[in-house]
Amino acid sequence: MKKKIKYILIDNVKTIFYALLIAIAIRSLFIQPFYIPSSSMEPTLLIGDRIFVSKYSYGYSKHSFPFSPSIYNKRIFKKEPKIGDLVVFKTPIDNRTDYIKRLIGKEGDSIQFINGEIFLNNKQIFREKISQKYNIRCGSTTFEVNAYKEMLPNGVKYISVYRKDGTLMNTDVYNVPKDHYFFLGDNRDCSRDSRFLDSVGYIKNLNLVGKAQFIFFSNDTVKSSILKIWNLNRSLRVDRFFKKLW
């Protein structure tokens, strides 16, 4: 009887071990879920969105694996991201924290804000003001915005928002170094991104984690926690389930 119990325990441990290995392999090599905790990418991504990120899109680095083990400091099967991609990356200040932003500039590119307009390599990024109203969050506050449909030189379109009561108008020129990238949040006045050279700045290719593909679940965690099942009807955003991200 004792031997039988022992064999059952060993089999269960083996099953759990193999299941963990498979889960780690899937998470590291194929796809990983992420939770959106901030409003920096509104209206594209909302607080409470759960997204799937493909790990194979740009190849693999140490940041593809749990805890970012320092076993190899290069990227293998490297693929270049495209301007406009929604990218998850590790912030350079600690190489641990995950951020998601939109890729605006690659190595050799220059980016500058002039009178509130974005210039990429001295050419103004096309944008058209839209009439749709958005309630945009920034921390615990909500503010009015001007919303624009922007289009990058490669044809990628998205919506960006700017505060009505004051926004970033002018900056110095950002020159993207070799093997680095420049990222912006779509919520331009509530995003810590590559404009903040002291905390985020230019992002190394090595720090890219993956490309956001789609939202698989969404609920407004500001209104109600997912653990409060009885309040889910107040917070579920069913229209965002399985929404593809561009």
Q: Where in the sequence numbering do the catalytic residues fall?
A: 40, 101
**Lateral strand order in the sheet of 123-124:** 123-124, 117-120, 110-114, 174-175
Q: How far is CA 58 from CA 61, 78, 86, 243, in A?
A: 9, 6, 12, 22
User: Which run of H or of E encompasses 202?
Assistant: none
30: Cβ–Cβ under 8 A, 6 or more apart, which residues? 54, 55, 56
User: Which run of H or of E encompasses 21?
Assistant: helix 2-29
**Pairing of β 86-90 and β 98-105:** antiparallel
Positive or negative, the CA dihedral 223, 228, 230, 236 is: positive
Closest CA to 145 of 111, 117, 186, 184: 186
Cα separation, 62 vs 179, whole angstroms: 16
